[in-house]
Amino acid sequence: MKPKLAALSYVALAAADTVLASRPGKGARAARFVTKPLLMPALATAFIGATEGHGALAKGTAAAQAFSWGGDVALLGKGDTAFLSGLGSFFAGHLGYVAAFSSARDRGLEPLSPGVKAAGVVLATAAPVMAFAAGRQQPKLRAPVAAYSAVLASMFAASTRLDPNIPPRARRTIMAGTGLFLASDTILATREFLVKDQSHKLDAAVMATYTAGQGLIAAGVAQAAAHSG
């Protein structure tokens, strides 16, 4: 499949899965067993076709997409085992993104840059709340949620420290993507541990921000790869 066609397929699948996530009922849930597992393969096909997998930035991003697929599939299940499996897979995915962004970091940037400080604020405020709320629901979730919050914040921080030789548009696109990924997981944790919303509206918000975030990260890295190539 050509990269442009794969990218269009990803957009269509993302829109369909977001709509399905907003709807209750067994029919919508069954349909998501088709749409959701196809998301990351479509995005990865478009991404690899555009970058040809060259360079540490592209390779780390491709690895993150693969682990994200595992997380998508795991979270179609229900219960703590499915949740922890999904959390673990996305944890590995974020490590992939951290490695990718770190390979293209601005080596002259001060350690406590504005992006790092912003990530630190998120980690110091939202993370303890989510970990505590998760622990109240299930004590065994407290440590995994805290660890996941740390790697999520690290992923966002790493995306704000990219090499200035990467075109500004590409850097802004990547940061917009990681910011949306952070927002998606925050909404997910809020729904799961704080408000216990049953309306499915927050599920749609989770998928809309998640798919947009993944797509923007891939687009930004592809732009960076095109510039370096």
Query: Which tens digits make up the pLDDT trace of 136-152?
Result: 888 888 999 999 999 99
pLDDT at position 116: 72
- Model pTM above 0.85: yes
Distances (CA, A) of 69 to 114, 181, 210: 31, 14, 12
Average pLDDT, the chain: 89
Mean pLDDT along residues 62-79:
95
Supply the angle between the helices 114-137 and 142-159 in degrees, to the nearest 10. 160
Contact 26, 48 (CB under 8 A): no
> Residue 110 — very low, low, confident or very high, per pLDDT cuts 50/70/90?
low
Dihedral angle, C-alpha 42, 46, 51, 57, nearest 10 °: -40
pLDDT at position 30: 95
Residue with the bigger pLDDT between 224 and 114: it is 224
Place of tokens 């997998």: 53
Which of 20-24, 48-52, 81-85, 127-131 has the weakest average pLDDT? Answer: 127-131
Cα–Cα nearest to 193, from 121, 123, 120, 144? 144
Mean pLDDT along residues 50-65:
90
Report residue 122 as tokens: 């998120």
